[in-house]
Structure 1
Amino acid sequence: MVTLGLPFDQVQMFLFVLVRVAAILFTLPFLEARNVPVLVKASLAVAMSVLLVPRLDIVVPSLLASPWLLAMGLLAEVGVGLAVGLTLQLLIAGIQLAGQLAGFQMGFAIANVMDPASSLQIPILSQFLNLFALLIFFALNIHHYFIMALMSSFERIPPFAARFDEQLMPLFMSLSGDVFVVALKVGAPITVALLLSNVALGLTARTVPQMQLFIVAMPLKILMGIFFLGLSLPFCAAYFHRAFVDLGQTVIGMMRLFQ
């Protein structure tokens, strides 16, 4: 009979690391989609945990003799992981809201597509901006900083050492308010251009009522929206880069509230 001589403290530390890593990975926007198999997510969480455990120089108190304390510690790790994943979720929600606002002005609100993450129908422009933001996320190697922040989280907040500060709620309320700020900044070029075009069409219709502007307005608004969307993509890429970097600073600041 073959037995594995694994020390209990290493097994316990691996368990804590796995729970936190899995909580973060399962809430990331590009991994929470239902079309991503659960086995893939679990395998990725286990692989990252196996890579992180040998690099962590932390001491975990033995809690195997106390199931209640072990369960409380695992719940705290889940809370830390969900808090980190929620920050990125709020940023992506702001980008999707910008697409909804701009798409409504362009007339794309009628044509929706199925979002694989939420299994809901969202406007086409929201899905486009969402995929564009994720492309910037990987193209600029922001995921490398994310992995470094994940490892740093264990150094700042060792397993079974998380303390939930009362300032966490105001922080998440501020991040929730930033969803609308991100939406306005990303969708401003298209929204302002279409607003001015609506004013011009309204004045034209008022001046020359014999013209059938409704036939011209819909394709004109779509063409103008696509044109200004193309012009704003380089600026959106720079803004997404800065937003992801600021998000990393926010996560680091949030880690201090768990100490």
Structure 2
Amino acid sequence: MMAVPTEVWLTEWVRWLMATARFGGALTLMPALSVPQVPSVCRAVVAFGAALAGLPFVPPVTTDAPVLLLIVLVRETVIGMLIGMVFASFVWLWEWVGELADWQVGFGFAALADPIMGTRVAIIARIATLLAGVLFFRLGGHHLLLRAVAESYRWLPVGSDFALRPQLGEMWWAMLGRGFFLALPFIVPTLGIVLLSDLVLGLMGRAAPQLGVLLWGMPARILACLFVTAIALTAMPNLAERLLTHLTTSVPSLLVTLAGR
């Protein structure tokens, strides 16, 4: 049995390290893995395993200077985190849409403490966030993320130069804006009920002030909004699939812009 030369071991180790940086940067921001409750050891194991599976996509690194290797390692991490942020925005957009509905309904004043994210989230936003996390895996979002990282070597090979150009920010906000409007139909029925109930309660308050509209009107409006939101949840899988497709197709254009092509 022939011994493997030390140079080969070092080359393969550097390749695996570069793959771990890019895959790990993306998986760090992936929904469900980015929550504080997931141990760091678990994230590291998943990142190492994904890097090992994606090792065939990583070309050999030619430089041997430690400083240059460190710079390349940082670049790989930044690229991976950029891809991870694209897929993490899948959950962020649903949370933003839910918060918009919460403030219109009145749930913003009764925000719940979210032990997972360490923040305070209103009711509809919390429901939308939890369901979005489930749909992300149900729709194969984790597979799409790993595929996007593997295909990113076509546009940004290891060691390639890139710069954070203004066009990247414009494309990023355009992607989020388009994604927000794709998720917005989820709360349109709720906003319609809020507008209609405010109109009805206002007319009743002017016509018969002695009824005490504020005493029973607010609970009735909240009950109607919850009922409509429960019905709107049935449409969320289709909206989530369209949103995830939009985010996935946005990754190549962002990487090409990052590479300056």
| TM-score of the two chains, using structure 1 as the length reference | 0.89
Q: Is 1:153 aligned with 2:152?
A: yes
- CA shift, 1:140, in A, is 2.1
Counterpart position of 1:81 = 80
Counterpart position of 2:13 = 11
Counterpart position of 1:27 = 29
Counterpart position of 2:226 = 226
Q: Residues 141 and 180 (structure 1 numbering): CA distance in 2 closer, same or farther, change over 3 Å? A: closer
Amino acid of the structure 2 residue aligned with 1:141: G
- CA shift, 1:92, in A, is 2.2
Amino acid of the structure 1 residue aligned with 2:120: Q
Q: Residues 116 and 67 (structure 1 numbering): CA distance in 2 closer, same or farther, change over 3 Å? A: farther
Counterpart position of 1:191 = 191
Counterpart position of 1:251 = 251
- CA shift, 1:183, in A, is 6.0
- CA shift, 1:74, in A, is 1.1
* Between structures 1 and 2, the one with greater helix share: 2
State the SS of the aligned residue for 2:233.
Answer: helix
Deviations 1:158-208, CA, capped at 9 Å, x for gaps: 211252362212112323444653564332221121111111110111111
Mapped contact 2:182–2:239 kept (Cα < 8 A): no
- CA shift, 1:238, in A, is 0.8
Deviations 1:5-56, CA, capped at 9 Å, x for gaps: 5521111111111011111111123211111111111111011111211x32
Counterpart position of 1:46 = 48
Amino acid of the structure 2 residue aligned with 1:40: C
Amino acid of the structure 2 residue aligned with 1:103: D
Amino acid of the structure 2 residue aligned with 1:189: P
Mapped contact 2:26–2:81 kept (Cα < 8 A): yes
Q: Is 1:136 aligned with 2:135?
A: yes
Stretches of structure 2 that go unaligned for 5 or more consecutive residues are: none
Distance (Å, rounded) in 1 between the aligned partners of 2:184 and 2:131: 17
Amino acid of the structure 2 residue aligned with 1:121: R
Mapped contact 2:179–2:246 kept (Cα < 8 A): no
Mapped contact 1:90–1:175 kept (Cα < 8 A): no
Mapped contact 1:87–1:251 kept (Cα < 8 A): yes
State the SS of the aligned residue for 2:209.
Answer: coil
**RMSD between aligned residues:** 2.2
Counterpart position of 2:117 = 118
Counterpart position of 1:242 = 242
Q: Residues 195 and 137 (structure 1 numbering): CA distance in 2 closer, same or farther, change over 3 Å? A: same
Distance (Å, rounded) in 2 between the aligned partners of 1:204 and 1:223: 18
Deviations 1:211-257, CA, capped at 9 Å, x for gaps: 11112112211211111112212222211110001110001222222
State the SS of the aligned residue for 1:28.
Answer: coil
Deviations 1:107-149, CA, capped at 9 Å, x for gaps: 3223322334531111121111011112221222232222222
Moved over 4 A (4+): 3-6
Counterpart position of 1:103 = 102
Q: Which moved more, 1:74-83 or 1:241-250?
A: 74-83
Stretches of structure 1 that go unaligned for 5 or more consecutive residues are: none
- CA shift, 1:76, in A, is 1.0
State the SS of the aligned residue for 1:210.
Answer: helix
